Each structure stands twice: as structure tokens, then as C-alpha cells.
Amino acid sequence: AYTMYPAYRKKNDKVNSFAERMQGCFQFSMNGKAPAADSEVLNALTAYAYWLSTGAPVGQALPGRGFDEPMPPKGGYDIARGAKVYTAQCAICHGAKGEGKKVGATQVFPPLWGKDSYNWGAGMHRINTAAGFIQHNMPLGKGETLSDQEAWDVAAFVNSHERPQDPRLLNHDIEATRKKFHEGDGVNLYGVVVDGVLLGQGVQ
């Protein structure tokens, strides 16, 4: 990714430096607080990425960057069917309640929902994005084995659970936040009522 930056990003509607892009990973995907752009941590990560990109052409996406997303299934996705895929193929590592797995204090398998998961502002909260990631990479070591339908169903199941609030929340107003940041941002369930429950309330 290093040679693709600085680049415009729709998410914050400005040109982002590589350090700013990584700050987004801390804030959304890790649901944490981003170190300053000139901090030792971000300088070290930037230096490492710079070294990894040695000899790479500037401004050209290289093979292996990102992943394609499977087409949305014709009949749509089905959360209940996704629950079955999850129980059969994912729960062994990610936990029956999406809590992941710890060995001692070390998180060995990441939580997929709940208070320790990626938040409602992370790219992974989009069902289309999660379907692509899951189809190529999951179950761990058995990527490319789920059908498009299974990938969409299980992604929808995962993303129909509560997770930490979108840090961009406007005035404690889920509907306003949905309109500004989630409408038109792929397929997602933020601010949507599922089985009588409003999603996007956030958990701490």
C-alpha cells in the first residue's frame, strides 16, 4: 500500500498521508485511539512499509492488494442461513458468541462482534467487504472454499450483531449518523432494524 499514498479517501473526504491512513486502522478496525501521525509507533510502521515496498512501482496497485468481492447473491442474503455456516465453520475459533479466543492475556483469534470487536465505522462492517475478506481468507487455512452465497450469508450474520459505536457518531443520533456515513457505503446494517432491534446502538 505504501506507494499508493498520499491518496484521497472518501471516508474522511481528504487526501490522506500513509500515516493518516494507518490512524484510521487504529480508530476503526482496532476500535482504539490512534497514535499521533509523528509518533514513534506510526513512524516505525511507516518506515517498515517503506522498506517492504523497496523497488515497487509508485502509484500502481500491486497484485495481492485488497481482494475482490463476490457479487451479491440473486435472492439476497439470509442471516439465519449465515448463522448455520457460522456454527459449522467459524465458531470453533471465533467463539459461539463472536468473542474470539484468548490464551492467557493474548488474543489468538479475533472477536467478530461485541465490545472487543471492530467498530461500526470499520470497513469490515460492510457486508460486501466482509463477504470478500471471508471468502478469500476464512475459515483460516481454507480460503476460497465458501460459495458466494455462503460468504454473503455468514458476513451478514456476523454484521447483524452489536459492536462498538462508530466514533464518528453525530450528536448521539444514530439516524443522522446512518444518513451521513452509512447510506450508500456498500451494504450495511448500521441504523437498520433487524428482528425488531435497532442496530448501531453500540456496546462498550
Distance in Å, CB of 110 to ligand HEC, minimum: 4
CA 1/CA 78 separation, integer angstroms:
34
Size of the site for ligand HEC (CB under 6 A): 20
- Grouping H, G, I as helix, E, B as strand and the rest as coil, residue 89 is helix
Enter the C-alpha cell of residue 134: 471471508
- Binding of ligand HEC by 186 (CB under 6 A): no
- Binding of ligand HEC by 94 (CB under 6 A): yes
Three-point CA angle 175, 177, 180, nearest 5°: 110
| The only residue of 19, 22, 34, 154 in contact with ligand HEC, by rule CB under 6 A | 154
Q: Are 7 and 17 in contact (CB under 8 A)?
A: no
- Closest listed residue to residue 180, CA positions, set 11, 9, 7: 11
Nearer to ligand HEC, 6 or 147 (CB): 147
**Subset of 61-90 contacting ligand HEC (CB under 6 A):** 85, 89-90
State the residues that interact with ligand HEC by CB under 6 A: 29, 85, 89-90, 92-94, 109-110, 112, 118, 124, 130, 133-134, 138-140, 154, 158
